[in-house]
Structure 1
């Protein structure tokens, strides 16, 4: 007997959603068999080709969908020569066909309960008809309460969303930030919600030996997540002077435009190295004397498990998620933050000089989400196993 798990992420911008699901896959593969008494297999459904390059636990695999990317207020095909509606239908049918064969006991959907433009709605109906459980996984910050409320309404309202779910897992520490209290999570969904702690401790490490991108110690590090919106901060960082006796490693992210990476490499001084990617970025974060970064969930989760001093410069365009996360964590002393408009090259040079003489313990933040999720999954699997599947036209 096997337990089958599917994890979905839409991945229109960056790889944060897929990386979160990958961390969950490793935790579930390692811990769930002892809790359920069954072997565990799984499928990660992603929407960016780079996601499938990352290894998974034994018995797990990627299903990489044709990609979508954001344009204006909507989504368009990233590469495929078709219109958005046709691509949505293709993605929806592909997911539904795969899960009809695998029949997952548990489906975890990251951030967008109905996927992009409703592509998951048929999938959720099929999952419910089969008797499988469905969880919505949320990062600890969504956006301003007003923006979040408008998004729930566009989906048909919180009550409508809740009818498709068995649980909501919030991957954060409610003592730092509680989206149930801010109003980002309406009551109908808050009733289903459990906060897990940040998905920090226990993230899958990359394989050694370390690649040649590793900087010699001591060094300061700039890391920009996917990199699609990190050019402005990178231009400041590459011109700043590393502290005496230190080098500077700048990881642009794989989605920064090649021309911008070339520009940064030309601007870099002799003590600064600019690379597009480094698979061991979490290890580099732990080993750095200080870190400059943006405020994406995965970057912050990897940072919080270290004692590396950090200056977080959040993205402020389109969403306020990164800014709200950075300010909440700064309020509990876990990091420092500033706005890009308030940061000059001289400011960054001065911050590095000061930061490399300090450390930043973060013992007060709950970082154990990856050990909390498997028992939550086991409890949900036991509950749904005792509940008969819905009889519907889809089941018939």
Structure 2
């Protein structure tokens, strides 16, 4: 016998959703065969082409949907010259057809239970009829309670989520940040909620793909996630003084606007640094290795970046996003309260501030022993519970239950 697992991430902003699912795929590929004695295969549905640059376990593959991006006017097509309505139908029907064909025993959905404008609902309706167990995976910080309350109401509230999902996994340490206590996760969903710990230790390692980017001598690393709003940090980093005896790698991200990326390149060229000391690149195939081997790292405050940092002893300065959501600021300050990272508020960002921090940071290491960073080691057991429950349910007489009307597409 074999187990089929599918995962979905909408990927409208940043790279973290798909990278988080990829880490889960490797954990499941390693642990489910040991737990169940069965082979595991899987499909990762993602929304940005850069996801496929990262390898998957044997027997797993990517399905990349044409991309949405978030604008001031809402969601719009990232590249295809089609209307938002047409792209929604293309993505929704493609995801539904793929998931129906795969007939997974377990579907893991990252962050948004119904996808962009509820594009995942047709697939969830189909899978509900097959008995697929669906799990919603959530990062530990969402946003302010007021903002998240509005989001839950928009998708039909916790009852709509509970109608389709049998589990909710929070990828964090409840003692560091508790979204149930803050109200970001409704209390009605607490019976199906499990805290996994941060998805930090045990991330997949592809050292050969990144070897050409790693300099021979010690280096400082600056990274801004997908890069869509990382221009200010990248520019300040390019103008900062590099610690003596070190090089500096700046990752601008594949989603950074061309004008911002070019400005950072220009600043690097005019910095006066010796040739080769400062390197600017849009993308690195294996960020965890670069973080681990860096003398120090400057980063924005996305979940994935922080998880990769927390798995190392590399000193870290977090400059959280100042717009759209309060998520990064809340995460950065909650981790800083444990002593795990340093925080520089975006209004205080400057080349001088980065220079001063880096000069001291490259002479020390970071300690994160008091935080639960072993979430990836627990995913196999949690998944096995869902699969066993699904098989037990499919072999038992079906009982009737009250029907909750599915939410409709948000327009």
TM-score strictly above 0.5 = yes
Decide whether the 8 Å contact of 2:54 with 2:285 is kept in 1. no
Partner of 2:354: 348
Q: Is the 8 A contact 2:4 2:106 kept in 1?
A: yes
Report how far residue 209 of structure 1 moved: 6.5
Structure-2 residue corresponding to 1:329: 335
CA distance in 2, matches of 1:237, 1:133: 45
Q: 1:1-396 to 2 correspondence within 5 Å?
A: 1-208=1-208, 210-268=210-268, 269=271, 270=273, 271-388=277-394
**Within 2, Cα distance between the matches of 1:261 and 1:79?**
18
TM-score by length of 1: 0.95
SS at match of 1:150: helix
Q: CA deviation at 1:325?
A: 0.3
Structure-2 separation of matches of 1:356 and 1:207: 23
Q: How much does 1:257 deviate?
A: 2.5
Superposition deviation, residue 90 in structure 1: 2.0
Quote the offset at 1:265 in angstroms.
2.0
SS at match of 1:387: helix
SS in 2 for 1:95: helix
TM-score in terms of structure 2 length = 0.92
Q: Is the 8 A contact 2:220 2:295 kept in 1?
A: yes
What secondary structure does 2:217 align onto? coil
- 8 A contact 1:216–1:247 mirrored in 2: no
Q: What secondary structure sits across from 1:255 in the alignment?
A: coil
Deviation at 1:281, TM superposition (A): 2.1
Instruction: Give the length in aligned residue pairs.
Output: 392
- Secondary structure of the 2:42 match is strand
Distance 1:12 1:304 in 2: 25
Q: Is the 8 A contact 1:289 1:356 kept in 2?
A: yes
CA positional deviation for 1:378: 0.2
Q: Distance in 1 between matches of 2:363 and 2:233?
A: 23
| 2-structure distance, mates of 1:101, 1:277 | 33
Give the Å deviation of 1:198: 0.6
Q: What RMSD over aligned residues (CA atoms) do the two structures have, in Å?
A: 1.6
Gaps of at least 5 residues in structure 2 are: 401-411
Kindly state the Cα deviation for residue 351 of structure 1 after the two structures are TM-superposed. 0.9
Q: Is the 8 A contact 2:142 2:327 kept in 1?
A: yes
Output the CA distance in 1 between the equivalents of 2:143 and 2:210. Answer: 37
Output the CA distance in 2 between the equivalents of 1:345 and 1:37.
Answer: 54
Distance in 1 separating the partners of 2:180 and 2:385: 22
Query: SS of the counterpart of 2:170?
Result: strand
